[in-house]
Amino acid sequence: MELTVKQVAAMVDHTNLKAYATKEDFRILCDEAVTYGFKSVAINTYPVAMCREMLEGTEVLTGAAVGFPLGQMTIEAKVAEAEDAVKNGCQEFDYVCNVGKVKEHDYEYIEREMSALVSVARKAGICCKVIFETCYLTEEEIIETAKVASKVKPDFVKTSTGFGTDGAKPEHVRIMKQYAGDDVQVKAAGGIRSFEAAKAMIEAGATRLGTSSGIKIVEEMKAAGYR
């Protein structure tokens, strides 16, 4: 697979989900995303309106993280947060599934939750990504959750929040891609801090990368002679 700098940059959700991020941090994040041609900024729901305004007139999307980072909220609370983010101008959102329910193998609950959040996105005409938090799951649990996604059809399934005990692994990306089906893409996130790591995720089937190291990844590509 021959990758270009522009292709990889356009896969990056440029991320700042820190609790102490300030308005100036978000301004820098947005400016960097525009300069490097990243796909979106990935932020918590509070700064959505502010970042959408900062990115007005650019091609960079304003993303939002819902139920973040634990996913231990009711379906109704996640729906309300997603709807609030939409109202404030988000153009896509990533929500954390209820990992405890996955561990209980209550996939009926996971399907109800996923359907409710995907419905919010569909009504708004925007993209919905489902975060599995794979570091806490067995291979079977990843497969079964991906099978739910193959029925509900969110736009993406996503490996990790970056706040768990581990991040994205190529083998998890491959499993998620295999079982979520052709209609669902895979976003790899968590611990992707180099071009080598990003390339491994892309080769495994990821079409979006959640990382706060997007600039480093792009600069590594340029230094290695990629165009």
Q: Which of 39, 94, 169, 199 is catalytic?
A: 94
Which CATH architecture group holds 66-223? Alpha-Beta Barrel (3.20)
Give 173-193 pLDDT, tens digit per residue. 999 999 999 999 999 999 999
Distances in Å between the Cα of 91 and the Cα atoms of 6, 28, 48, 65, 83 are: 21, 19, 9, 11, 11
In this structure, how many other beta carbons lie within 10 angstroms of the beta carbon of residue 11? Answer: 22
**Burial of 223: CB neighbours in 10 Å, binned 0-12, 13-18, 19+:** exposed
What's the whole-number average pLDDT of the chain? Answer: 98
Look up 78 and say whether it is catalytic: no
Q: Where are the domains of the chain?
A: 66-223
In percent, the amount of the chain with pLDDT more than 90 equals 99
Look up 169 and say whether it is catalytic: no
Confidence of residue 214 (pLDDT cuts 50, 70, 90): very high
Give 4-54 pLDDT, tens digit per residue. 999 999 999 999 999 999 999 999 999 999 999 999 999 999 999 999 999
Length of the chain equals 227
Give 104-120 pLDDT, tens digit per residue. 999 999 999 999 999 99
Q: Residue range 68-95: average pLDDT?
A: 98
User: H/E element holding 157?
Assistant: strand 156-158
Look up 158 and say whether it is catalytic: yes
In this predicted structure, the answer to whether residue 86 has a pLDDT above a threshold of 70 is: yes
